[in-house]
Amino acid sequence: MDSLEAIQDRSEAVLAHNRLHGVTVPNRDIFPKQFSWDTAIIAEGIATLDPYQAAHEIQTMLSSMWRNGMLPNEARISDEPDVSEKYIFRTAKHPQKPKGYQTSGIVQPPLLTAAALEVGKRLPTQDRIEFYKSIFHPLKKHHQYLLNQRVVNDDGLVALMHPYESGMDNTPPWRETLFIAYSAQHETAWGALKEQLGKFAISGYRHFLGDLKEISIQERSDNDDVITSFYQTRKISGYGYDMAKIIEDPAIPLIEDVGFNAVLDAANSALVEISDDLFDPLFQIDIDLRIKMARLHTAIETKLWHEDPQKPHESGYYSRDARTGQLILLPTIASLYPLATDIAEDRQKHLLGTLSDINKFNTKNPFPSVPIDSDHFHPTAYWRGVAWPFPRYIIEKGLMRIDHIDLAQEIGLRILGRSAEKEKSEYENPLSGTPLGCRNFSPTAALDLLLCEIL
C-alpha cells in the first residue's frame, strides 16, 4: 500500500478535477450532475480538506428539492432538460420541480442528513450553527415527505417506487420483482417485437449518451435490467411520481427496501442531533415526526428481520414486497446496513459474523454487493456483485459507531491497499480487485480520504 499522503494527494486531485460549476460531480465526463447519495460521500470527504466547500455541496443539492419535499436522486442547475429528463423521467414540466433545476422524479437513500451533521462538526461553532440553520428545514421537509407520502402500510416503513431509489440499480430483489411484473409484456409476438425495439432504442441511447459511452456493458446493468426499469419509470412518471396514485395501480411493484429504511433510520438520528445542537424552538422536530421516526425503527426490527430455526443460514434483514407484505429472501450488502442503526445485540453480532464470512462478504476486495455464495452473484455485473464505495461508507461508519474500531481499521487498510486505488475506479471486482466502471470517481476518492483519517 502507498503512503497515506500519496493516497490523499490522488484523492484530492480527483475531487478537484471533477469540480464543475461550483460543485463536485461523480465524474465530469460520464456523470456531470449532482447525485444525492454521491454528494453525501463527496461532501464528507471534501470536509477533510475544506469544510466550507463541503457545506456548499450539500446546500446546492438541497436546493434541487421539489416543493413537496422530494429530494431527487440526480439534479443539475439548468433551464434546459436533457434527453433523460425530457423523455425518460419526464420531469421537465413537473409542477413540483424548482425553477432553474432539471431533476429526476425519484429519491435515493438519504445519506445527506448524516453527512451534513459530520460536515458541520468540522466548522467553527458559529459557522456550524449557521450551516445547520440553513439546511435543517429542507432536511426536515425531506424526512417528512418520506415518512408521510412514501409510507403505504401501517407499520411505517418507507416504500420505494423504482430500483434506482435503492441506490443499487439492478440489485436482485428489484431485478427479480420487475422481471416477474413485466414478463407478461413479453408473451405475444407483438410484445416481443416491442421489447426488441425497446432494447434497440435503449442500447443506442446508452452507447451514445449514457452509461455505455465509455464502459462495456459487461460492467453495467444489462439491457433486460434497463428496459424493465424503463417500463417502471414510464408507469410512475405517468402518475406524476405521486405515491397516492401509484399505490392504486396494483400492476406497479413497490418494495420496502431494507437498505433505504436503515439509512433513513440513521438519518433520523442525525436530524435529531442537528436539532439538539441548534437548541432553538424554531428548529425543533415535532412530536408527530418523532413518533413516525420511532415507528420506522421498530418496523425494521419487527418486520424486516427473518429467522427460521430450520434454516439458520438464512437469518438476516431483508427487503419486503410493499403490496403483499412478504419478505424477499434475496440477501444483498444492504442486508448489513442495519449495522448503522440501533439493533438488538444478538442481531448485530449475527451481521458482524456475516460480514466476516469468507463465503459471503469477506472478500479480498470488500465488499461484494451480493454475497459470493448467492446464485445471483457475478463479480463484474454492477450491483449483482461488484464492490462499491457506498456500502463501504455505510458499513465503515456503522462499525465506528458501534465501537468496532479495530475491525473498521482492518477493513479500511484492505480498501486503501486495493490494486485499483490509484485509478479511483467507480467499483471493482471483489475477488480479483480489477478496476471496473469509470475511473476518477469522486465518491471513491472521498471515501479514501475518510479512511485515511481513521487509520
Q: Please return the burial class of 106, using the count of CB atoms within 10 Å of its CB with bins 0-12, 13-18 and 19+.
A: buried
State the pLDDT at residue 227.
Answer: 81
189: confidence class by pLDDT, cuts 50, 70, 90: very low
Residue 192 above 60 pLDDT?
no
Q: What is the mean pLDDT of the chain?
A: 93
State the pLDDT at residue 184.
Answer: 60
Least confident of 13-17, 198-202, 276-280: 198-202
What is the total count of domains within the chain? 1
Give me the domain span that covers residue 306. Answer: 4-454
Q: In Å, how far are 33, 35, 168, 223, 234 from 228, measured between CA atoms?
A: 24, 22, 15, 8, 10
Least confident of 36-45, 139-148, 169-178, 216-225: 216-225
What DSSP line would sit under 89-119, residue for residue?
S--TT-TTSPTTEEE-S-----THHHHHHHH
Cβ atoms of residues 445 and 15 within 8 Å:
yes
Provide mean pLDDT across the span 324-338: 98
Provide mean pLDDT across the span 65-73: 98
State the pLDDT at residue 196.
Answer: 57
Provide mean pLDDT across the span 73-101: 92
Secondary structure (3-state) at 419: coil
The cell for 224 is 433486460
Report the interhelical angle of 389-401 vs 405-416 (nearest 10°).
160
Q: What is the pTM of this model?
A: 0.95
Secondary structure (3-state) at 2: coil
In the numeric block, the cell 415526526 is attached to 289
Least confident of 15-24, 198-207, 257-266, 357-366: 198-207
Residue 70 above 90 pLDDT?
yes
- φ, ψ at 23 (rounded to 5°): -125, 160
190: confidence class by pLDDT, cuts 50, 70, 90: very low
Interval 135-150: pLDDT, tens: 999 999 999 999 999 9
Residue 131 above 90 pLDDT?
yes
Residue 441 above 60 pLDDT?
yes
Q: Please return the burial class of 25, using the count of CB atoms within 10 Å of its CB with bins 0-12, 13-18 and 19+.
A: buried
For residue 316, what is the enclosing H or E element? strand 316-317
The cell for 303 is 418486520
Residue 14 above 90 pLDDT?
yes
Cβ atoms of residues 336 and 395 within 8 Å:
yes
Residue 127 above 60 pLDDT?
yes
Q: What type of residue sits at position 277?
A: D
Residue 2 above 90 pLDDT?
yes
Q: Please return the burial class of 309, using the count of CB atoms within 10 Å of its CB with bins 0-12, 13-18 and 19+.
A: exposed
The cell for 447 is 471515501
% of the chain at pLDDT higher than 70 = 92
311: confidence class by pLDDT, cuts 50, 70, 90: confident
- φ, ψ at 154 (rounded to 5°): -70, -15
Interval 409-427: pLDDT, tens: 999 999 999 999 999 999 9
193: confidence class by pLDDT, cuts 50, 70, 90: very low
Residue 156's domain is classified under what CATH number? 1.50.10.10
% of the chain at pLDDT higher than 90 = 85
